Structure 1
Amino acid sequence: MTDHKLTRRKLMTITGAGAATATGVLAFGITPVADALDDQATERRTHPLADAVLAAFRSHRIVAIGEVHGQQEHHDALQTLLLDPRLPAVVDDIVVEFGNALYQPTMDRFVAGPAVEDRDLRQVWRNTTQSPVATWDAPMYEQFFRTVRAVNWALADGEKIRVLLGDPPIDWTKVNARDDIDSPDRDGHLVSVLKREVLDKGRRALVCYGSLHLMHAPPGEQGGSGIARLERLTGTRTYVILAGAHPRLASHPRRAVIPAQGTWLQDADTGEFNYLPGECGVPFGVIADALLYLGQVKEQTQSLWNPAIYLDPAYWTELQRRKTIKGSPIDLERQYRQEQPTAWPTPPPNDC
């Protein structure tokens, strides 16, 4: 995936935030007592995920939630959002990273209600540009699509939520050599989908993508994520919620969304958070509008595929073929056919 991290020097030059570092709190005159009072004020501004998303749609056409790939608790939170009965009234489309746009007709049919064979539905997530490194076979991704279908079942045709598949189209049946694979501009494809299918049609969309694709760019920054590129192209501001964990959030309720503006998160160093794609010296308020707190890292778990899936000889042969074509160093046997621990991996020590 494309790396959109900002360098500390570049961000300090743009924002003038040279003092906003983990060791710089004394320069601001912040004391432990002040920290405690600030934490209490921040807690009063937190809201459940669904409430925060619905409120954001009052002033934004697009609300984006940074997905933590493979994390069960993140998708548990998304399930509560999808099942909120208020959501269909404010969301027309949901744009996801974990689906090949080649199969958009299949997804349109599936979430609308008609029968779709499992062998056809599975191709949506198994045949993306990220295969074989990522197969999206973890059960939470299929459950995401099935939950949208379940929500739509009770809705009239004009009220149903559409799922837009955001991964660039690739037809693996026509890929026989590395030269058959165009280098996909995944962020560019996200921009085109949101502009063509959402903004140009006057619709509203919820976006579920990895956080690297959703971060705002600082003033003057010309690179950046798909959302940053969309904002420059259209002038439409997206409300961005990124998942993160920090010791100061331990007293907050799980699945709470905390706004950056007006809280200590505005100037907090993203390098001190788990899950965030920032680095030391980057203020959280520069890259996002709010933070989704799911609990501390030790409380998180992985959603893992059933290794038996890869005993299917046809599927296994195809994954090996793709590995050879891409020249990928991934150890398919170890990653997919061996049982993995469900506990979320312990991150390396933070040295900000």
Structure 2
Amino acid sequence: MTEQKLTRRRLMAITGAGAATAAGMTAFGIVPTANAGGDATTDSNSRPLADAVLAAFRRHRIVAIGDIHEQQEHHDALQTLLLDPRLPGVVNDIVVEFGNALYQPTMDRFVAGHAVEDRDLRLVWRNTTQSPVSTWDAPMYEQFFRTVRATNRPLPEPKKIRVLLGDPPIDWTRVTTRDDLLPFQDRDGHLVSVAKRQVVDKGRRALICYGSRHVMHGGDPVAQIEQMTGQRLYVILAGSHPRLATHPRRTVIPAKGTWLASADSGEFNYLPGECGVPFGEIADALLYLGQAAEQTRSLWNPAIYLDPPYWTELQRRKAINGSPIDLERAYRQEQSVVWPTPPPNDC
């Protein structure tokens, strides 16, 4: 299939620019306000997530958004991006961490609009290399796939967005010992392989939705992808800072030209930064979702784990990989959706 060339003129028409962007922000009720630190530069350069991502694709073939696992507000923001009617005109593929590549044919059928039984679809996120520590049974992950399917439904085949499953293709039915897990431990390497084979080699454009630590600048996956494409990967990481307390939620603030460039990344909440490392060294922009006390978790229904075959399989996997996780407490007991309060940072 031949991909339609994305010229600068066409992309500008899709994404909008200048006054159109400002008008769009007003239409969404997002009006820049002075933040606690009085950083006018930060406010004037911020924009809604969809506008920021589409603008980034003017200069980059691949854009990455660091995922905050189980954070509801993060995936609420992603929903607004997935439902933006401009996205299919710019993005060919979305690479996700929360899906086993063994089931790529299943996902291809599903997001294309074909009938896929729920029992088959669940295998995509339940059978990753991270099980049983992470089952990805939180409803926001299934909703992500269903939203892409809904976005694709009215589109002609060449315009449909493909979801690429980035977790190594482990087949748990063939895993009986810890040694059987060894070929699937290089998860970052598999991400790079998927990006090369399915995106770069085919001349396509991709959005990567992966855990923040996997897509930070300075890490091997980003460095390898940049070497393949010959251009910088545009990285957006979610986080909060006291100076942003009155800043509009769900907006993206660029690091370049703002105080974020030199801000200590260890001072941000729900951002896996490190003390002494400037934010501008690990990301190109910050997605602000609100302060840490405002965040909530997307949690699975404990009744899921009353299914005997599934529960037995999780216990089997725990025994194989020697995980210390308490399955009963982690999955079968009700938990609070309140986001855990982070300890004070001594940066």
Give your verdict on TM over 0.5.
Answer: yes
Asked if 2 retains the 8 angstrom alpha-carbon contact of 1:212 and 1:225, the reply is no
Measured in 2, the distance between the counterparts of 1:214 and 1:225 equals: 9
Matching residue's letter, 1:314: P
Structure 2 matches for 1:192-341, cutoff 5 A? Answer: 192-217=193-218, 224-341=219-336
Alpha-carbon spacing, 1:37–1:247, altered in 2? closer, same or farther (3 Å): closer
Asked if 1 retains the 8 angstrom alpha-carbon contact of 2:90 and 2:205, the reply is yes
Measured in 2, the distance between the counterparts of 1:80 and 1:52 equals: 12
Asked if 1 retains the 8 angstrom alpha-carbon contact of 2:64 and 2:235, the reply is yes
The residue aligned with 1:51 is 51
Measured in 2, the distance between the counterparts of 1:292 and 1:185 equals: 28
CA displacement at 1:177 relative to structure 2: 1.1
Measured in 2, the distance between the counterparts of 1:234 and 1:296 equals: 35
1:249-300 Cα deviation digits (max 9, x unpaired): 1121100000000000000000100122221100011111000000000100
SS at 1:99's partner residue?
strand
Matching residue's letter, 1:329: P
Measured in 2, the distance between the counterparts of 1:227 and 1:101 equals: 20
Asked if 1 retains the 8 angstrom alpha-carbon contact of 2:36 and 2:244, the reply is no
Measured in 1, the distance between the counterparts of 2:174 and 2:239 equals: 40
What stretches of structure 1 move > 3 A for 4+ residues in a row?
35-38
CA displacement at 1:186 relative to structure 2: 0.7
Q: Does 1:181 align with 2:176?
A: no
CA displacement at 1:89 relative to structure 2: 0.2
Q: Does 1:151 align with 2:144?
A: no
SS at 2:163's partner residue?
strand
TM-score (norm. length: structure 1)? 0.87
- Identity among equivalent positions (%) equals 79
Asked if 2 retains the 8 angstrom alpha-carbon contact of 1:215 and 1:225, the reply is no
Measured in 2, the distance between the counterparts of 1:52 and 1:298 equals: 25
CA RMSD across the alignment: 1.2
CA displacement at 1:228 relative to structure 2: 2.3
The residue aligned with 1:88 is 88
Measured in 2, the distance between the counterparts of 1:236 and 1:189 equals: 20
Asked if 2 retains the 8 angstrom alpha-carbon contact of 1:82 and 1:148, the reply is yes
Measured in 2, the distance between the counterparts of 1:256 and 1:36 equals: 16
CA displacement at 1:181 relative to structure 2: 1.2
Measured in 2, the distance between the counterparts of 1:59 and 1:337 equals: 46
Measured in 2, the distance between the counterparts of 1:60 and 1:236 equals: 7
SS at 2:39's partner residue?
helix
Unaligned runs of 5+ in 2: 1-34
Matching residue's letter, 1:197: Q
Paired residues in the alignment total: 312
Of 112-121 and 268-277, more deviation after overlay is shown by: 268-277
Asked if 2 retains the 8 angstrom alpha-carbon contact of 1:104 and 1:165, the reply is yes
CA displacement at 1:233 relative to structure 2: 4.5
Measured in 2, the distance between the counterparts of 1:281 and 1:38 equals: 23
Matching residue's letter, 1:159: K
The residue aligned with 2:104 is 104
Measured in 2, the distance between the counterparts of 1:267 and 1:347 equals: 22
Q: Does 1:68 align with 2:44?
A: no
Unaligned runs of 5+ in 1: 1-34, 218-223
The residue aligned with 2:164 is 164
Measured in 2, the distance between the counterparts of 1:333 and 1:167 equals: 25
Match for residue 338 of structure 2 among 322, 329, 343: 343
CA displacement at 1:146 relative to structure 2: 0.2
CA displacement at 1:236 relative to structure 2: 2.8
1:142-167 Cα deviation digits (max 9, x unpaired): 00000000000000011100000000
CA displacement at 1:38 relative to structure 2: 5.5
Alpha-carbon spacing, 1:145–1:158, altered in 2? closer, same or farther (3 Å): same
Asked if 1 retains the 8 angstrom alpha-carbon contact of 2:236 and 2:283, the reply is yes
CA displacement at 1:37 relative to structure 2: 7.3
The residue aligned with 1:32 is none
